[in-house]
Amino acid sequence: MPLTPTTRVLLTGAGAQLAGAIRARFEGHCALTAVTRQECDIASPAAVARVLAAANPDVIINCASYNDVDGAERDPRAALSANGLAVGVLADAAAGADAVLLHYSTDFVFDPAVDPGPLREDAPTSPRSIYAQSKLLGEILAKRAPRHYVLRVASLFGGSRAKSSLDRLAAAIRRGDTVKAFANRTVTPSYVPDLAEAAAALLARDVPYGLYHCVNSGHGTWVDVARAIAVASGLDADRAVTPVPFDPSAFPARRPTYAALSNAALAAHGVMMPPWRDAIARYVRTLS
């Protein structure tokens, strides 16, 4: 479904970091309707029906999410509603409208006991927190839309609404602070403009519906990420970054120690993701 001026796209959760990048990429290329959580509570069938009646979308892109990982442990009802049950509401609405549903999930659905190498879509899930469980529920309920994409993303950064852990790490490094970074937590950083471009390519190429990992290519520890930010900023990485061990038990909600995702399935359909180090370099240039 190539984006044309007549393609009707509904973007939910429009206030989120990833949504900002999608809006920047899609505006001017389609008939985009963007609604924030305040404008449309996707857990409400009545609110969703009202918005769909007005937008009549061909594609629904859902960026609405409860992202307070530790807060979900204190308020599981809110997380399960926003990340799980609400996705079922959207999926049912998409099915009724014969619209494509594109929904975002997370690397937190994994927590392998040993380093298995970059995780594919069919790797066993093991959600160890309320947040992770709620996102996995959302993946399951998204399948109620016959035409659906579930895209797992990880360690987001960048865009006009930058506010992630990686964004805060970059700000501290560029201030000249010496930052602590996990030496044994492995991730796949994901630059939100690249994810927005991938969403457009996914639709344009009519990639088969289903579950995909949508992340920048490659992986590294948080020390690797922090050092890459320092180098791209023209700073001494050894002075800027202090490696520390990662202890999952130090947080109210468990984080996976290994969360590197393989994007080979998307690449097999022609949706190529740039290396994360290249993305970091481009990101840092936007901060200059």
Instruction: Name the residues annotated as catalytic.
Output: 131
Which own/partner pairs from 280-283 qualify as long-range (CB within 8 Å, at least 24 positions apart)? 280/189, 280/191, 280/225, 280/228, 280/229, 280/232, 281/228, 281/232, 282/191, 283/157, 283/158, 283/170, 283/191, 283/232
DSSP state of 261: B
What is the token pair recorded at 39?
Answer: 């404008």
DSSP string covering 208-249: PSEEEE---B--EEHHHHHHHHHHHTT--HHHHEEEE---GG
Return the ∠ at Cα 195 (arms to 255 and 124), rounded to 5°.
40
- The token pair that represents 140 in the structure block: 């399951």
